[in-house]
Amino acid sequence: MARSKTSKAWLQEHVSDPYVHMAQKDGYRSRAAYKLLEIDEKDKLLRPGITVADLGSAPGSWSQVAIDKVGERGRVLALDILPMNPIAGVQFIQGDFREDDVLAQFVQLLEGRPVDLVISDIAPNMSGNSTIDQARSAYLVELALMFAQEHLKPGGHFLVKVFQGSEFNAFLKAMRETFTEVLSRKPKASRDRSSEIYLLGKNRR
Protein backbone atom coordinates (compact mmCIF):
# COMPACT_ATOMS: atom_id res chain seq x y z
CA MET A 1 0.00 0.00 0.00
CA ALA A 2 1.40 3.41 -0.97
CA ARG A 3 2.03 5.75 1.91
CA SER A 4 0.01 8.98 1.98
CA LYS A 5 1.85 12.29 1.64
CA THR A 6 1.18 13.12 5.28
CA SER A 7 2.57 9.84 6.57
CA LYS A 8 5.64 10.27 4.33
CA ALA A 9 6.13 13.78 5.71
CA TRP A 10 5.71 12.50 9.28
CA LEU A 11 8.19 9.69 8.65
CA GLN A 12 10.72 12.12 7.17
CA GLU A 13 10.31 14.48 10.13
CA HIS A 14 10.57 11.58 12.58
CA VAL A 15 13.73 10.17 10.97
CA SER A 16 15.47 13.56 10.98
CA ASP A 17 14.23 14.58 14.46
CA PRO A 18 17.18 15.14 16.84
CA TYR A 19 15.03 14.26 19.87
CA VAL A 20 14.17 10.87 18.34
CA HIS A 21 17.90 10.16 17.96
CA MET A 22 18.62 11.38 21.50
CA ALA A 23 15.87 9.15 22.91
CA GLN A 24 17.33 6.12 21.14
CA LYS A 25 20.80 6.97 22.43
CA ASP A 26 19.67 7.71 26.02
CA GLY A 27 17.38 4.69 26.28
CA TYR A 28 14.09 6.57 26.50
CA ARG A 29 11.00 5.07 24.91
CA SER A 30 9.98 8.27 23.13
CA ARG A 31 11.09 11.83 22.45
CA ALA A 32 8.44 13.02 24.96
CA ALA A 33 10.98 12.32 27.74
CA TYR A 34 12.77 15.57 26.87
CA LYS A 35 9.60 17.62 27.34
CA LEU A 36 9.33 16.46 30.94
CA LEU A 37 13.08 16.74 31.54
CA GLU A 38 13.10 20.35 30.33
CA ILE A 39 10.04 21.34 32.37
CA ASP A 40 11.45 19.61 35.44
CA GLU A 41 14.79 21.36 35.06
CA LYS A 42 12.96 24.69 35.16
CA ASP A 43 10.30 23.93 37.76
CA LYS A 44 11.90 21.25 39.99
CA LEU A 45 8.80 19.04 40.17
CA LEU A 46 10.43 15.61 40.59
CA ARG A 47 12.20 15.08 43.91
CA PRO A 48 13.50 11.97 45.69
CA GLY A 49 10.87 10.16 47.74
CA ILE A 50 7.69 11.67 46.26
CA THR A 51 4.65 9.85 44.84
CA VAL A 52 3.84 10.56 41.18
CA ALA A 53 0.73 9.59 39.17
CA ASP A 54 1.41 9.38 35.41
CA LEU A 55 -1.85 9.52 33.41
CA GLY A 56 -1.67 8.44 29.78
CA SER A 57 1.73 6.92 30.40
CA ALA A 58 2.39 4.64 27.37
CA PRO A 59 4.92 4.00 25.93
CA GLY A 60 6.48 5.03 29.24
CA SER A 61 9.09 7.74 28.71
CA TRP A 62 7.58 10.07 31.35
CA SER A 63 7.45 7.18 33.83
CA GLN A 64 11.12 6.45 33.01
CA VAL A 65 12.09 10.04 33.81
CA ALA A 66 9.93 10.11 36.94
CA ILE A 67 11.17 6.87 38.53
CA ASP A 68 14.76 7.90 37.83
CA LYS A 69 14.20 11.18 39.71
CA VAL A 70 12.09 9.96 42.65
CA GLY A 71 14.43 7.05 43.36
CA GLU A 72 13.84 3.95 45.46
CA ARG A 73 12.00 5.81 48.22
CA GLY A 74 9.58 7.35 45.71
CA ARG A 75 6.63 5.81 43.87
CA VAL A 76 5.43 6.12 40.28
CA LEU A 77 1.93 4.89 39.43
CA ALA A 78 1.08 4.78 35.72
CA LEU A 79 -2.14 4.31 33.75
CA ASP A 80 -2.90 4.02 30.04
CA ILE A 81 -5.45 2.44 27.72
CA LEU A 82 -2.51 1.10 25.67
CA PRO A 83 -0.13 -1.61 26.87
CA MET A 84 3.18 -0.49 28.38
CA ASN A 85 6.24 -2.68 28.80
CA PRO A 86 7.29 -2.96 32.47
CA ILE A 87 9.60 -0.35 34.00
CA ALA A 88 11.43 -1.30 37.19
CA GLY A 89 9.79 0.42 40.15
CA VAL A 90 6.71 1.63 38.23
CA GLN A 91 3.25 0.21 39.05
CA PHE A 92 1.17 0.16 35.87
CA ILE A 93 -2.52 -0.45 35.20
CA GLN A 94 -3.79 -0.85 31.65
CA GLY A 95 -7.31 0.42 31.13
CA ASP A 96 -9.51 3.28 29.97
CA PHE A 97 -9.14 6.29 32.25
CA ARG A 98 -12.75 7.25 31.44
CA GLU A 99 -14.16 4.10 33.07
CA ASP A 100 -14.97 4.23 36.79
CA ASP A 101 -13.78 0.68 37.54
CA VAL A 102 -10.38 1.33 35.92
CA LEU A 103 -10.00 4.56 37.88
CA ALA A 104 -10.99 2.71 41.08
CA GLN A 105 -8.25 0.11 40.45
CA PHE A 106 -5.73 2.89 39.96
CA VAL A 107 -6.84 4.72 43.11
CA GLN A 108 -6.35 1.46 45.08
CA LEU A 109 -2.64 1.68 44.27
CA LEU A 110 -2.51 4.90 46.31
CA GLU A 111 -3.39 2.94 49.47
CA GLY A 112 -5.28 5.94 50.81
CA ARG A 113 -2.31 8.30 50.57
CA PRO A 114 -2.34 11.56 48.61
CA VAL A 115 -0.11 12.15 45.60
CA ASP A 116 2.65 14.79 45.44
CA LEU A 117 2.58 15.24 41.66
CA VAL A 118 0.19 14.33 38.82
CA ILE A 119 1.65 14.36 35.30
CA SER A 120 -0.48 13.85 32.20
CA ASP A 121 0.72 13.67 28.61
CA ILE A 122 -2.62 12.12 27.70
CA ALA A 123 -4.08 12.65 24.22
CA PRO A 124 -6.98 11.00 22.41
CA ASN A 125 -6.57 8.96 19.24
CA MET A 126 -6.67 11.71 16.64
CA SER A 127 -9.42 11.44 14.03
CA GLY A 128 -8.19 14.34 11.88
CA ASN A 129 -11.38 16.30 12.60
CA SER A 130 -10.11 19.18 14.74
CA THR A 131 -13.50 19.87 16.39
CA ILE A 132 -13.92 16.24 17.49
CA ASP A 133 -10.26 15.91 18.51
CA GLN A 134 -10.35 19.08 20.61
CA ALA A 135 -13.55 17.95 22.36
CA ARG A 136 -12.07 14.51 23.12
CA SER A 137 -8.85 16.05 24.37
CA ALA A 138 -10.73 18.58 26.53
CA TYR A 139 -12.71 15.74 28.15
CA LEU A 140 -9.52 13.79 28.97
CA VAL A 141 -7.73 16.79 30.49
CA GLU A 142 -10.85 17.60 32.56
CA LEU A 143 -10.76 14.05 33.93
CA ALA A 144 -7.05 14.44 34.68
CA LEU A 145 -7.77 17.69 36.55
CA MET A 146 -10.58 16.00 38.52
CA PHE A 147 -8.15 13.25 39.50
CA ALA A 148 -5.63 15.89 40.63
CA GLN A 149 -8.30 17.75 42.60
CA GLU A 150 -9.29 14.55 44.42
CA HIS A 151 -5.90 12.95 45.01
CA LEU A 152 -3.20 15.63 45.16
CA LYS A 153 -2.09 16.63 48.61
CA PRO A 154 -2.45 20.33 49.49
CA GLY A 155 0.58 22.06 47.96
CA GLY A 156 0.91 19.32 45.31
CA HIS A 157 1.51 20.07 41.62
CA PHE A 158 -0.19 19.08 38.33
CA LEU A 159 1.41 19.11 34.86
CA VAL A 160 -0.92 18.50 31.91
CA LYS A 161 -0.74 18.66 28.12
CA VAL A 162 -3.51 20.75 26.58
CA PHE A 163 -4.36 21.81 23.04
CA GLN A 164 -5.28 25.42 22.43
CA GLY A 165 -8.88 25.34 21.26
CA SER A 166 -12.33 26.57 22.20
CA GLU A 167 -12.27 24.78 25.60
CA PHE A 168 -8.91 26.22 26.65
CA ASN A 169 -10.07 29.30 28.59
CA ALA A 170 -12.63 27.38 30.64
CA PHE A 171 -9.99 24.79 31.55
CA LEU A 172 -7.48 27.50 32.47
CA LYS A 173 -10.09 29.08 34.78
CA ALA A 174 -10.67 25.71 36.51
CA MET A 175 -6.90 25.30 36.94
CA ARG A 176 -6.62 28.76 38.50
CA GLU A 177 -9.40 27.93 40.96
CA THR A 178 -7.54 24.78 42.03
CA PHE A 179 -3.92 25.99 42.22
CA THR A 180 -2.30 29.12 43.63
CA GLU A 181 -0.20 29.53 40.46
CA VAL A 182 -0.74 28.32 36.87
CA LEU A 183 2.13 28.55 34.38
CA SER A 184 2.32 27.63 30.70
CA ARG A 185 5.29 25.77 29.26
CA LYS A 186 6.22 25.02 25.64
CA PRO A 187 9.31 22.82 25.80
CA LYS A 188 11.78 22.81 22.91
CA ALA A 189 10.93 19.16 22.17
CA SER A 190 7.33 20.17 21.33
CA ARG A 191 7.09 20.43 17.56
CA ASP A 192 6.57 24.02 16.40
CA ARG A 193 3.50 23.18 14.34
CA SER A 194 1.80 21.48 17.29
CA SER A 195 -0.86 23.45 19.17
CA GLU A 196 0.05 21.59 22.38
CA ILE A 197 1.25 23.43 25.44
CA TYR A 198 1.72 22.24 28.99
CA LEU A 199 -0.08 23.86 31.89
CA LEU A 200 1.56 23.58 35.29
CA GLY A 201 -0.64 24.04 38.33
CA LYS A 202 1.53 24.69 41.38
CA ASN A 203 0.46 24.33 45.00
CA ARG A 204 -3.01 22.79 45.13
CA ARG A 205 -5.22 24.95 47.33
For CA atoms 99, 195, 58, 10, give the dihedral sign. positive
Residue 68 CA to residue 88 CA, distance in Å, equals 10
In 18-129, which residue ranges form alpha helices assigned H by DSSP? Answer: 18-26, 33-43, 61-70, 100-109
Residues whose CB is less than 8 angstroms from the CB of residue 193 and which lie 6 or more positions away in sequence, other chains included: none
Query: pLDDT at position 192, please?
Result: 76
Ligand-binding annotation for 100, yes or no, is no
Q: Where are the domains of the chain?
A: 32-204
Residue 120 — φ and ψ, nearest 5°?
-145, 110
CATH among 3.40.50.150, 3.40.50.300, 3.30.1490.20, 1.20.58.60 for 32-204: 3.40.50.150
Considering the candidates 5, 8, 69, 161, report the single residue annotated as catalytic: 161
Which one-letter amino acid corresponds to residue 105? Answer: Q
Ligand-binding annotation for 116, yes or no, is no
Q: Could you tell me if 131 and 174 are in contact, meaning their C-beta atoms sit under 8 angstroms apart?
A: no
Cα 147 to Cα 104, 105, 163, distances in angstroms:
11, 13, 19
pLDDT in tens, the chain (205 residues): 455 666 766 566 666 788 998 999 999 999 999 999 999 999 999 999 999 999 999 999 999 999 999 999 999 999 999 999 999 999 999 999 999 999 999 999 999 999 999 999 998 887 888 888 888 889 999 999 999 999 999 999 999 999 888 889 999 999 999 999 999 999 999 887 778 899 999 999 9
Ligand-binding annotation for 10, yes or no, is no
The whole model's pTM is what?
0.91
- Annotated catalytic residue 161: yes
